[in-house]
Amino acid sequence: MPLARDIIAAMAILKVIRLGHPALRTKSKEVDRKELSTKFFQKFLDDLAKTCVKNSGAGIAAPQVGKNKRVIVVHVDPKNPRYPNKKPFPLTIVVNPKVLKKSKITKEDWEGDLSVGIRALVPRSKTCIVTGLDRLGKPVTYRLDYGFHARVFQHEIDHLNGIFFIDRVKRKETLSELKEWKRYWKNKKMLRSRLK
């Protein structure tokens, strides 16, 4: 039986593609159960999860590594400096995820992406219910009542439909490169004064 450290060492970090790559604008295909059960696809799931963690992401979708399959990974770690003070969400792989229901009430908050060094304010439903399959093909349902978790799931599922977060930005003036975002927008007081 291999040790956990051996399994982790065997996982690969995949290359995250950048905005402009056609895979980010292509609708992804569903994963059938036969494909899901293969060693090759199971290794891909491990590699995608490791890529998310190593890049300090709150989530990643398969198209971000150039594979147009309906798979997302979500992992909110309170130790991640990019997401301080956020409630944790365990490392989770969801295959063929769908937003079953979402609240009409929306909230605008900052989003970024591993595929581009840009941030912007994006409106999203505050809560949602997501269904899909776990890595073993068993049905799963996530009732996401915490806004940040609901946001991450919606963001990653958008990737599966060829939608990028910048497509949902209403206030275009908030689109900022990461360095400029840290300088001009990160502070809430600065944000309020700029959006008056």
DSSP state of 77: -
3-class secondary structure, 191: helix
Rounded alpha-carbon distances, angstroms, from residue 132 to 30, 32, 34, 109, 146: 11, 12, 16, 26, 19
Helices and strands per DSSP (H, E), number in the chain: 6, 8
Among candidate residues 156, 173, 177, 180, the one labeled active-site is: 156
Q: Which residue is it, tokens 């809430």? A: 188
Residues facing 120 on adjacent strands: 111
Cα distance between residue 93 and residue 162, in whole Å: 19
Backbone φ and ψ of 177, nearest 5° = -65, 150
- Among candidate residues 136, 170, 142, the one with its CA nearest the CA of residue 156: 142
Residues facing 143 on adjacent strands: 129
Q: Tokens representing 28?
A: 């992804």
Q: Put residue 20 in one of left, alpha, beta given phi > 0 → left and psi -120 to 50 → alpha.
A: left
Q: Is 156 a catalytic residue?
A: yes
What residues are labeled active site?
A: 156
